[in-house]
Amino acid sequence: MRRLAVLMVIVVTAVELLSAQARPRTPEQEPQATFKSGVDLVTVSVSVRTGNGRVVRDLQKTDFSVFDAGQPAKILDFYAGDSPISLAIVLDISGSMAVGGNMDRAREAVTVATMSLREDSDEAALFTFDSELQEVVPFTKDLARVHRVSLKGTPWGKTSLFDAIADAATTVSERANRHRALLVITDGVDTGSRLTAAEVSAIASSIDVPVYLLTVVTPVDHPGSELELTSDGRTARTATLADLARWTGGDLRVTSTPAHIAVAVQDLFTELRHQYLISFEPGDRPGWHPLEIRTRKRGLVVHARGGYMSGPSRSGS
């Protein structure tokens, strides 16, 4: 009897095992593959120019080296090519813009920038700011909608330029297109910010949004070289607008005529459409990590953001 009972148990167990193998697995029963999440990578937009300013488009992954806090970092992902753009235009409508026709120059710059975008793939958003940032047109591929916006208001109020850049950079960073940027059109006079340029640069750099500054000035104020924007007595510890742009991987242009505006915007889009995207794993040490991107080819100038935040304080890369 004992042998019969044992035999019955074996038979029942075998039947149950065969039955379980025949039944389809539920989603909960499926083995779970483990992948490294994309948010565990730092992605940096990199533009490269020759010594005379020509955009370099033909570099490969092996042409770059990444140094994270002075230590070499392995490039895990690399993209090079012309792809759609997400561009947020931030227009200064503060009181200082009413001087010398600068508001008219700024409106011209908005028109030229939106007309330079591709109707079938690119997208744009329009913001204005004086003492606070206002979303006039949210991100859209209907670029004519941006063209139709009336910007006939009279400038007023104090400028809070750095605050506006910090807020708008967060919006741009959430877009899906590979190439994203902020185009800030202003006279460069900031009288109302609660943040310093260095603080806003750290925010923009941590979310990898290049900031391009297009400053509009009167022809008499247009210098032969780059405009000095910090002649107001600020200390050396306070960064300039040009510093802000470069720390984020962007740049600054000074314009005073429609011809200047057209050339500056064309140069901006040439660079933006052919930026290289380099991804690597962040370092283990929490906090700020300074970055240096180099090319193995001599005589080239690299523009990329100055660093990123790692660990609990990291705001997202």
Q: Which domains does the chain have, with CATH numbers?
A: 38-81+276-313 (2.60.40), 85-273 (3.40.50.410)
- pLDDT exceeds cutoff 50 at 52: yes
Backbone angles phi, psi at 277, to 5 degrees: -110, 120
**Residue 56 pLDDT more than 50?**
yes
| Axis crossing angle, helix 258-273 with helix 102-115, rounded to the nearest 10 | 40
Q: Is the dihedral of CA 101, 261, 52, 42 positive or negative?
A: positive
**What's the pLDDT score for residue 70?**
94
Average of pLDDT values for 272-291?
A: 91
pLDDT at 122 over 90: yes
In terms of DSSP bridges, do strands 71-73 and 64-68 run parallel, antiparallel, or are they unpaired? antiparallel
Verdict on whether the full-model pTM lies above 0.85? no
What are 191-196's contacts with CB under 8 Å, separation 24+?
Answer: 191/94, 191/96, 191/158, 191/159, 192/94, 192/131, 192/157, 192/158, 192/159, 192/160, 192/163, 193/159, 193/160, 193/161, 193/162, 193/163, 194/160, 194/163, 195/162, 195/163, 195/166, 196/162, 196/238, 196/239
Average pLDDT over residues 285-307: 91
Whether 146 has a pLDDT exceeding 80, the answer reads yes
Instruction: Supply the mean pLDDT for the chain.
Output: 77
pLDDT in tens, 10-21: 444 443 443 444
d(CA 211, CA 201): 9
How far apart are alpha carbons 37 and 179 in whole angstroms?
21
